[in-house]
Amino acid sequence: MNRDTLKITGMTCAACSARIERAVQKMDGVGFASVNLATEKLTAEYDCGVTDIQKIMGVVTGLGYGAAAVTQKKQSADADKLKKEREIKVLWLKFIISAAFAVPLLYLAMGSMIGLPIPEFLMPMMHPLNFAVAEILLTIPSIAAGYRFYIVGVKAILKRSPNMDSLIAVGTSAAVLYSLYSVIGIISGNHGAVDALYFETAAVIITLILLGKSLEAASKGKTSEAIKKLMGLAPKTAIIVKDGKEIEIPIDDVCIGDICSVKPGDKIPADGVVAEGYTSIDESMLTGESMPVDKKTGDKVFAASINKNGAFRFEATKVGGETALAQIIKLVEDAQGSKAPIARLADIICRYFVPTVFGIATIAAAAWWISGEPFVFAVTIFVAVLVIACPCALGLATPTAIMVATGKGAEYGILIKSGAALETTHKIKTVVLDKTGTITAGKPEVTDIIAVGEASERGLLQLAASAEKGSEHPLGEAIVQRAEAEGLEMLKPETFEAITGLGVEVGIGGQNILIGNKKLMTERGVAFDALKALSDGLASEGKTPVYVAIDGKIAGVIAVADVVKESSAAAIKKLKDMGTEVIMLTGDNVKTAEAIARQVGIERVLAEVLPQDKSDEIKKLQGKNKVVAMVGDGINDAPALARADVGIAIGSGADVAIESADIVLMRSDLADAAAAIQLSKSTIRNIKQNLFWAFGYNVLGIPVAAGLLYLAGGSLLNPMFAAAAMSLSSVSVIANALRLKGFKPKA
């Protein structure tokens, strides 16, 4: 089976993507078809002996959409970004043009009704034709700005698969056509027809829909940012050893088996195995852990990780697209592409609503005409049904609630990137939390200082900080920061030696100071039996013990740990109280992870998990019919954030994590994850209420517009009152959506 990807253009809603997916899936030889509305791509698996990519493209274009093959060669992220920016600018320009004419049109139409000042020559009762012509001139630019709604909407109707654009096209066309009919009446001398002009309805609908489309396009425009930032992590060049000489070459020229030389501070150019030398490497881009990892001969190193202090050489074992970084990039791309578009309730209604309304309007008009009523009477019935069924309220039901909710979320520091994310969040049953930077602060801090013998705690800290002042190791930096916070004076070392993978040896005031791990103390013959039980206890709590020896005798131990954020335990309790399962997923060791989990009340822990495995773990949970949210902050979390149903990034985290996520917690407070779920539940409830009212007005109004009351001896529904009922439904929907402004997260 071949697998190819097509770039699709012309899709406007979930109904479009579903329609393409169904059509391609039905083709002979096609085993799988998936359309992603956000990335505007179709992925298809097919038997090349039965069909080919050209035939699939033909089916897509036959439906009225554009299709182009995505080439396998590397595409320019910058060019794609510029193209999307141009599309967004065009949409905003259309909105501005439409709004610039719709606002004065609305003022003109409503002004005479509510007593606003209007020039005498435009007064509808005194100069109805002038009034009508002015409205027409103000309506034309809005119609022109929204011309795509008519092209796409009408095509969808002709293809018997109506969508939201069809509703916009039908509703606004009905308002405009009936208004033009009324203008003809005015010209014929029926000045009372001026009360039946509904041009402003069409213009305002188009303006509001263009605003929504602009916001949607702006959100879609950021889909390539995560991939671009990941690609930027890789170094541009590498230094290889050839014939005993070090040569700098482009990264793409590195081959498997090459011996690469890496100096302190350099990025590692490929995956490989250390051939000679000792060093400490920052692998936080892979593991998310702030502690550097000591490396010796035979240990694995990974591309784009950063060499901290020792020079070393390694043999390249994986290059280019095979490196761990390249695999992370691929995982993010696959996860983003696998997200199915959310089927909106409004689109489901639209699928049956438009043809039903057309059918009712046509049947009602024909029935009255056949029964002997004049043709004008039948036309009035037809237009009244279409006008009262105008999808203004139905079209506003979802976007107004989402706009209010996202604005309210921003007030609480919850950045919701799309309406789709807001809709999905209310279904979350499992929240997976990264440890470092999410539950914990993300940087080492001194937690305990234990002095033995003649040393005091402040003296021990002063010596250790003075010794570590010249070190770049995060543990040393944590000790220095603690001493500075306590206002301790730094002593000047006479000698300094960094012992790779072990610690430092320093001469201060004639004393020999050793600071480092257990291995350093053992190698130098320093007995630390008195502190062994205490150190093991610190380690069981997830802390790293740093031993300090003075002139060959143990002086104490300083514990350093990535401490738990103050708000984490309460936030996790809040999530659990909401009936949500909470899981910790981390690349850290089991002992440290379980120690942190105990502190915050998490029962289930998945530790020592690599980035690609994090994504797989999320997929496994989803396979159990669970809607999963992933909360993380590191580059290593990006694939899992993209794979999850809802990715939630900590605002203080890496840019790539933020770009990959659907929701960003700007205050870096885990409690805001619970608030986001609460906001989503309130919003979905509000949207369903909106759809009920919007659809309810149509259900009640259509029979009246079709002449039910007239048949029973009452009066015929004037299209003017039909428009008033339609407007009332819109007012109800907007007023209900505004209630979300009163949302407050539950404590």
In the chain (747 residues long), the average pLDDT of successive 10-residue segments reads 82 72 89 74 86 91 83 48 78 92 88 78 86 93 91 80 70 81 88 81 79 62 51 83 90 91 91 92 67 85 86 92 72 43 50 76 90 78 71 64 78 77 88 87 86 88 88 81 91 85 86 89 88 84 87 91 86 92 85 86 88 85 89 82 89 65 82 91 87 76 83 66 60 80 83
Last residue of a domain, one of 532, 549, 564: 564
Catalytic member of 434, 588, 633, 637: 434
Does 466 map to a domain? yes
Give residue 230's pLDDT.
Answer: 61
Q: Can you give the residue range of the structural domain that contains 117?
A: 74-161+174-221
Are 178 and 147 contained in the same domain?
yes
Q: What is the Cα–Cα distance from 602 to 573, expressed in whole angstroms?
A: 9
Number of domains in the chain: 5
Q: Is the dihedral of CA 201, 203, 206, 212 positive or negative?
A: negative
Burial environment of residue 205 by CB neighbours within 10 A (0 to 12, 13 to 18, 19 or more): buried
Last residue of a domain, one of 675, 700, 720: 675
What CATH number is given to the structural domain containing 239? 2.70.150.10
Give residue 342's pLDDT.
Answer: 36
Q: What is the Cα–Cα distance from 670 to 137, expressed in whole angstroms?
A: 54
Give me the residues paired with residue 505 across strands. Answer: 497, 514
Are 103 and 216 contained in the same domain?
yes
Q: What's the CA dihedral at 621, 746, 403, 725 to 10 degrees?
A: 110
Give residue 290's pLDDT.
Answer: 60
Does 497 map to a domain? yes
Does 340 map to a domain? no
What CATH number is given to the structural domain containing 24? 3.30.70.100
How far CA 247 is from CA of 251, 266, 316, 334, 618, in Å, comes to: 12, 15, 15, 36, 43
Are 608 and 538 contained in the same domain?
no
Are 152 and 253 contained in the same domain?
no
Are 23 and 101 contained in the same domain?
no
Task: Please report the beta strands in 398-552, taking only residues with DSSP state E, as ranges in sequence order.
Answer: 414-416, 430-433, 440-451, 495-499, 503-508, 511-516, 544-550
Are 183 and 36 contained in the same domain?
no
Residue with the two structure tokens 């609460």: 678
Are 112 and 22 contained in the same domain?
no
Query: Would residue 294 show up in a list of annotated catalytic residues for this protein?
Result: no
Are 540 and 628 contained in the same domain?
no
Does 715 map to a domain? no
Give residue 268's pLDDT.
Answer: 92
Q: What is the Cα–Cα distance from 322 to 9, expressed in whole angstroms?
A: 32
Last residue of a domain, one of 543, 564, 585: 564
At a CB cut-off of 8 Å and minimum separation 6, what does 691 contact?
345, 346, 349, 394, 397, 398
Does 192 map to a domain? yes
Q: What is the Cα–Cα distance from 456 to 229, expressed in whole angstroms?
A: 48
Does 728 map to a domain? no
At a CB cut-off of 8 Å and minimum separation 6, what does 447 contact?
543, 559, 560, 561, 563
Are 80 and 203 contained in the same domain?
yes
Does 402 map to a domain? no
- 383 within 8 A of 719, measured Cβ to Cβ: yes
Instruction: Output DSSP code: residue 90.
Output: H
Q: Give the pairing type, strands 628-632 and 646-650.
A: parallel
How far CA 457 is from CA of 462, 483, 580, in Å, comes to: 9, 11, 44
Are 558 and 453 contained in the same domain?
yes
Are 641 and 671 contained in the same domain?
yes
What CATH number is given to the structural domain containing 501? 3.40.1110.10
Does 731 map to a domain? no
Residue with the two structure tokens 């009246």: 704
Are 112 and 148 contained in the same domain?
yes
